Amino acid sequence: MKAVIYRKYGKADVLEWATTQVAKPKPTEIQVKVKAMGLNPKDTAARSGKVSILSGFRFPKMIGSDFSGVVVKKGAKVTGLEIGDEVFGYLEHLRGGALAEVLNVNANWVAQKPTKLSHEIAAAIPCAYLTALQGLRDKARLQKGQKLLIWGASGGVGIPTIQLAKHFGAEVHTISSSKNKDFCLEQGADIALGYDEGDFWEEHKGAIYDAFYQVFIHKGSIFKQSKKVLKPTGVHVTLDPIHMLYTALSRIEKGPRHEHVMVKAISQDLALLAQLILDGVLKPHIEKIYQPEQVQEAYTRLDSSHVQGKLVISLT
């Protein structure tokens, strides 16, 4: 089968389609013929070598963690899924593999794809929407009537975070570039602010927010700054694993606590998100759907850090 690989760390131009071997699925795995694959910053972090301390230096490596497709084989211990079922899911590990004609995946990391959802929409869901759900529900413990600020709200994680927070009954304020303020309001934000419109921290300091979700990581954690706008009982949630030390320190210090999101591929959460989309609560936004020969172009766009919503590669 063919898959996208890279033989060294680098920019998007290191990516190439190559012929690789696919193993027989393990007893707890299914084999999926991939129909669509969603891009994530996680892919860039792995491909660029940013997390090489975890991913190592053995090449070639594969890429991609979000996918939607059809079950073509199943392991002996897999129940609840049959050959021919349409599924979508998320690869928790850093090894990648979703950008391929076929992949083997733990059966617990997928959910049935509703027939009313296209493979492209389904492939845009897993990582970003799980991050939004698990960050708000499990880390921020967001409650009805609370006030939330989302930092980096116009991207792939920001959009479902806005929509889910409104579903939970929160008042939602967003930070993005000023050119994306209207877009954030269209997604459901109550107030949209621009990080390029003055000194945000000075203009908004005070115990204002119950939760601060930093969904965009560019210069590391801004936990120290977020304390200026968080209530003493508030929480700063981030995706950046480098700053997990803040989480430990906030347990013993007074003031806002710090929480780190480590996304888990939970079948029930995937199914819940799909249902919320069918119900119209969540409205995925795909900026562009690329073709297989446009892999480098797609990842170059992702690397720009200015994507509105999600990017998807269609393999159908």
Residue 277 lies in a domain: no
Q: Where are the beta strands (DSSP E) in the chain?
A: 2-6, 15-19, 29-38, 61-62, 66-74, 86-90, 102-106, 110-112, 147-151, 171-176, 191-194, 209-214, 230-238, 257-260, 286-290, 310-314
Question: Smallest Cα–Cα separation from 159: which of 140, 138, 131?
Answer: 131
Residue 97 lies in a domain: yes
pLDDT value for 85? 98
Where residue 89 sits, what CATH number does that domain have? Answer: 3.90.180.10
Whether 255 and 139 map to the same domain: the answer is: yes
Whether 142 and 205 map to the same domain: the answer is: yes
Percent of the chain with pLDDT over 90: 82
Q: At 254, is the pLDDT very low, low, confident or very high (cuts 50, 70, 90)?
A: confident
Whether 77 and 197 map to the same domain: the answer is: no
Whether 189 and 215 map to the same domain: the answer is: yes
Whether 103 and 149 map to the same domain: the answer is: no
Assess whether pLDDT exceeds 90 at residue 239.
no
Assess whether pLDDT exceeds 70 at residue 52.
yes
Assess whether pLDDT exceeds 70 at residue 154.
yes
What is this structure's pTM? Answer: 0.94
**How many structural domains does the chain have?**
2
Two tokens, residue 113: 């794809």
Residue 140 lies in a domain: yes
Residue 265 lies in a domain: no
DSSP class of residue 100 equals: B
Whether 222 and 288 map to the same domain: the answer is: no
pLDDT tens readout for residues 89-118: 999 999 999 999 999 999 999 999 999 999
Rounding to the nearest 10 degrees, give the CA dihedral for residues 196, 202, 206, 209: 10
Whether 306 and 241 map to the same domain: the answer is: no
pLDDT value for 207? 81
The bridge status of strand 230-238 relative to strand 257-260 is parallel
| Most confident listed range (51-55, 175-179, 267-271, 303-307) | 267-271
pLDDT tens readout for residues 191-206: 999 988 888 888 888 8
Residue 108 lies in a domain: yes
Whether 46 and 117 map to the same domain: the answer is: yes
- Quick check: 117 and 278 in contact, CB under 8 A? yes
Residue 58 lies in a domain: yes
Assess whether pLDDT exceeds 70 at residue 242.
no
Residue 169 lies in a domain: yes
Whether 121 and 137 map to the same domain: the answer is: no
The whole domain housing 85 covers 2-125+284-314
- Determine which of 183-187, 251-255, 291-295, 312-316 has the lowest per-residue pLDDT on average: 251-255
Assess whether pLDDT exceeds 60 at residue 244.
no
Whether 163 and 62 map to the same domain: the answer is: no
Give the three-class secondary structure for 211: strand
Whether 49 and 116 map to the same domain: the answer is: yes
Average the pLDDT over 269-281 and give the result: 97
Residue 278 lies in a domain: no
Whether 110 and 154 map to the same domain: the answer is: no
pLDDT value for 247? 57
pLDDT value for 198? 83
